[in-house]
Amino acid sequence: MFLDRVEVHVQAGAGGPGAVSFRREKFIPMGGPDGGDGGRGGSVLAVAKAGLDTLSDYRYRHHFKAQSGTNGEGNERHGKKGEDLWLEVPPGTVVRELRSGRILADLMAEGDRTVLCAGGRGGRGNARFKGPTQRAPRIAERGEPGASGSFVLELRIVADVGLIGAPNAGKSSLLAALTRATPKVADYPFTTLHPELGMLDEGGGQALLADLPGLIEGAAEGRGLGHDFLRHVARTRLLLQVVDVGTEGAEEAERTIEQIRAELVAFDQELASRPRLVFLNKIDLTGAAQVAAEVGQWLEAKGVEHLSGSAASGQGLAELKAQLLRALSALPKAAPLQVEATPEVLATAFVVRQDEAGIRVIGKTVERRVAMTDMQNPEAVQRLANYLRRKGVERALASLGVARGAEVQVGEATLVWRPDLVIPRRRAGKAAPRHEDAAP
């Protein structure tokens, strides 16, 4: 079943914790620390794959989690990196943040990819903390938690020509007549329930045509089926508007042409300048030729290019094919949507906010340092306190009048603040793996 919009919730893998271990071999009584680093967590990525034309793989599954990194071990053995998780999507898929609606990527061509959530860094083992003044460190970092987020995957079909028009205008019949596509054709409105694709191959030229569900007045506001598929129009290079002149009078046909154009502009103002060709269909019916002539004169006065013919009888289709290929040869290829810039993240700095919810320290590196600290290890907690003091967090809290013993939120951790030390309010995850039996 065709599906062109889904919501997914992804979780990247966490980094593995580093190890606390000491080398112990015969005749080497004080071998020193040799705890290895934890492996990095796997990331979650989206990639465009040829052959897919719908997002139906995500109809029933919406939650995805990448593999976490493994623990570091003694003898400076590093943990294994978690495997990345790839979400395969059709070319033309736009990735948005669910909450903000910000465009993260436009995966138009096969192989285009983007990182949805990055895996967490692996924690450093105690071998990384040894130095001239610290010969036997008993601290190691926990793995960094993997990023998480919710996203919207929105398919916008990548086609050269978009067939638009009112319900029952004959778009599906025209697609079948111009290409080898076999869309459903029936004598009632809204026969087309999802976009149908067909390849026009004529005289060495090729063009991909997309038959879009019928548009009615108010489609841009959600009426009918057109609202769900108007996004596909924005991707096409040329619009082919199909008008029924066999069952409609001249005034009614002209009103329909203006109505469809108004709905396109209401949905996206840029569509007002999109190249457009009008095909007056069903002229093989009684009286249709006269209606087509009147509507044609009206279109000429407006400077709109048009052709007449019949999808059922094949009349005028050769001219239509040639005109479509000629028009497309002069048009540039569709460009990806503009990716919106990522809001600036506090990378090396931090801010302290105090409101009804409490006191919070916000900053990427500060939050990461707290998250990767083994709060069950007093030596690691003291090291964190020294780091926060050097960063100026203690000075910033003092300037706000934060009292000794107050609770301070840093990322997911809640700390009890003391000017000389921060104390974890509660345990925050697993401690680093230890091999104390080998300690000097």
Q: What is the pLDDT of residues 110-155, one digit of tens each?
A: 999 999 999 999 999 999 999 888 888 999 999 999 999 999 999 8
Report the distance separating Cα 197 and Cα 236, nearest Å. Answer: 12
The more confidently predicted of residues 427 and 168 is 168
Name which of 100, 96, 121 is nearest 43 in CA terms.
121
CATH of segment(s) 1-156: 2.70.210.12
Q: How far is CA 56 from CA 53, 63, 114, in A?
A: 9, 14, 20
Instruction: Give the helix/strand (H/E) hosting 254.
Output: helix 250-267
- 79-106 pLDDT tens trace: 999 999 999 999 999 999 999 889 999 9
- β-strand pairing of 196-202 with 161-164: unpaired
Task: Give me the pLDDT at residue 113, please.
Answer: 95
Query: Is 3.40.50.300 the CATH number for 161-329?
Result: yes
Domain spans, the chain: 1-156, 161-329, 351-431
Cβ atoms of 339 and 390 within 8 Å: the answer is no
Task: Give me the pLDDT at residue 232, please.
Answer: 77
- 216-247 pLDDT tens trace: 444 444 444 445 667 777 788 999 999 999 88
Q: Is the pLDDT of residue 284 over 70?
A: yes
Task: Give me the pLDDT at residue 185, please.
Answer: 59
Rounded average pLDDT over 328-348: 74
Rounded average pLDDT over 378-392: 89
Query: Is 1.10.1040.10 the CATH number for 351-431?
Result: no
Task: Give me the pLDDT at residue 420, please.
Answer: 61
> How many other CB atoms sit within 10 Å of the CB of residue 282?
25
What is the sign of the dihedral through the CA atoms of 305, 311, 317 and 320? positive
Name which of 154, 156, 146 is nearest 64 in CA terms.
146
